[in-house]
Each structure stands twice: as C-alpha cells, then as structure tokens.
Amino acid sequence: MTAQASSPRTPSMDATQNEVLAEVRNHIGHLTLNRPAGLNAITLDMVRQLQQQLDAWATDARVHAVVLRGAGEKAFCAGGDIRSLYDSFKSGDTLHEDFFVEEYALDLTIHHYRKPVLALMDGFVLGGGMGLVQGADLRVVTEKSRLAMPEVAIGYFPDVGGSYFLSRIPGELGIYLGVSGVQIRAADALYCGLADWYVDSSRLASLDEQLDHLEWHDTPLKDLQGLLAKNGVQTLADAPLEKLRPVIDHFFALPDVPSIVEQLRAVTVADSHEWATTTADLLETRSPLAMAVTLEMLRRGRHLSLEQCFALELHLDRQWFERGDLIEGVRALLIDKDKTPRWNPPTLAALDAEHVASFFHGFTESGS
C-alpha cells in the first residue's frame, strides 16, 4: 500500500475490497481494520498491509501521527484469525508459523513507532487486538470496551507481547488476567494501565471531526493529548479490580495453578466467597497446560525486555501446535463446536511440573 494525501473522508482503498483501509487526513494517517462481520479478527494479509502502511508513513513528512480503529460498532479487533492457523497446521502449510513471526514484528513496530499512535478501543479488544493497541502512545476506551487476553480458553497462552504488558500491571492483576482470561471494562482498563483515556462512544464521531481540524502547535503527541483532554477523562470511579486487588494479589501469588484453585475453593469469608468460587470454576474450564505455561511465562516476563518477551513467546509458539492444546481448543470451540475440549492433561491434578518446564528449555535471554 502507498500512503496518499487525500481529501477528507476519501479512502485510499475500496472498502468493499480491502480488509485494511488507509487514508491521510490533516496530517494524520488513519488505519481501519475492516472485517466487521468477523469482529475485525486479524489475518496474515492484514498484518502485512498494516506493516507496509506504517513503514511508509514512518518516513512520510506529511504524516504527523497515526490513528488505529476497527470498522463497525462491535469490535476494534477480537484477536487473530485462529481458524486460518488451525487449517494451516492441519494441511501442513506454514501460514501458522509465518503469522506469529510477522504479527509480533508488527506489534514491535507500533511499540517503537517514531510518530504518536492513537488507538480507539471501542468494543471488543481481545488477544491480537491487544497486541496492536498496547504499543500505542494513546489508548482510548469507551463504555463499550471489553478488553481481554482470553487465550487459555482455547488452549493457548497470552502472546502478542502479553508476557510484557500483563506482567507489568501492579501486583498480581496481570497474572490474574492472563491465567483466567477474563474480560475487563473501561474502569479496570484504566486502573490496570492498559488504557490512558476514557471517551464516551457517543463522542467518537466528534473526536474524529476534531482530528480533521486539529491545529498543530506543539509536538504531535502533546497536540493529541490536548484534544483528548477536551473529550475524555483519565480515571473512572469504582473499578472492580481495585476492590478485588487484595484477594487477587494473595491468591495469584501462590506457587502454581493447582494451589491457586485449591486455595480459592477453601475461601469461606462471605465477601470473597462468591468471587473465589466463580474464579475457581472458571479456571477449571481452561486448559491446565495453557494456564501453567502462562503463569510461568508471565513471571519470567517481569524480568525480560520487550524484545525478549516477544522472543520467549515465539519460542513457545514453535512448540505449541505440536505439544500444546490450541488445536484441540479450536476444534472444540470453532470446528466441531461441541464445546467439550479434551485437554492434555485433562485436569490440574494431572499437570506435570517437568512437562511445563520443558516448554522453556533452550530459551535464553538473548533469544530462542
């Protein structure tokens, strides 16, 4: 794709033909994920289009900043197109291998981008969607935002830099989010540092119009921050995770997942019992292997650089299709849709610590 300076609202691509739309308005490059019927789940072609456009705009003096958004009203991006990865593995193709290498490179590009990136996280922001936004300078949520790294539900682990951004959330909140895969809303996203601004979704059209007429006075980042300050807030009251923080910090600091579930089951204190029981029930539906590897990965990630975290995730990816639970999870939830995955091992009690540790063998901090 080639960056084009266009008149307002004139896309450089045909919306009916392209899964990524790109246009430049008022020195801002707008990138729109354009698979609304599929909740903007990202494909390898989309990864390549985004990478090409960001590379072009990085050296284009006409472009001062970039805005990322999703088409439609339901999702920014509900993750990667895992069905295509399943099909690739089953057919002996290499798409599932290429996808992660190129997706992680794209995420790193956003983390290190030389121009400010504004991500509008309206609707679902799951998995691969989180990978796109967590490197952005300005992350905006709305009342419709639902953020999660839900990979353990399909027998996978939170990747796309999750070992970096989840592990740096205060206390054990990131461990909780990664091991459980629960969704959070705007107040919790701000509280956890996974978002920077709250803007009501009814103001997004106005915000877009203001971007079209923004006068560039200071640095592009400061100009964008000033605009967001007129349209939103940086904190919201009554974040559920703030109230749950003491119990989450206690239970999710325990040595392993079986211990976490066992101790959750033992809670008798009235104000924590319901949450503890619900959480234990949820964990027992997830892949035991995926949760155990996630716990170890996130704890290691606390001591690794961003690049090292992506290298660790790629090290796990290279083994996961053969040795992990992803193929079974996709089969149960998307292919046969029986919703009864046969995890290996099937229970937390059957987890073998040496088997979990084996996924990390051969990884060094200089790379895998």
Selection from 301, 294, 300, 261 nearest residue 278 by Cα = 261
Contacts 24+ apart (CB under 8 A), 13-17: 15/71
Task: For residue 337, give every residue at least 6 positions away whose Cβ sits within 8 Å of its Cβ, in sequence order, or none.
Answer: none
Cα separation, 310 vs 167, in Å, equals 13
151 tagged catalytic: yes
Active-site choice (23, 81, 103, 159): 159
Instruction: Using the CB atoms, write b or e for 200-215: b if 16+ within 10 Å.
Output: eeeebeebbeebeebe
Do the Cβ atoms of 227 and 135 come closer than 8 Å?
A: no
Active-site choice (29, 70, 79, 80): 80
Sign of CA dihedral 252, 256, 257, 258: negative
Cα separation, 51 vs 241, in Å, equals 35
Q: Which residues make beta-bridge pairs with 227?
A: none
Active-site choice (151, 172, 196, 296): 151
Cα separation, 70 vs 2, in Å, equals 20
Side chain identity at residue 84, one-letter code: S
Q: How crowded is residue 274: how many other Cβ atoms within 10 Å of its Cβ?
A: 10
For residues 92, 94, 96 and 99, what is the CA-based torsion angle, rounded to 10 degrees? -170
Cα separation, 293 vs 317, in Å, equals 12
128 tagged catalytic: yes
Active-site choice (70, 79, 123, 128): 128
Lay out the sheet containing 124-126: strands in order across: 75-77, 124-126, 146-148
80 tagged catalytic: yes
Active site residues: 80, 128, 151, 159
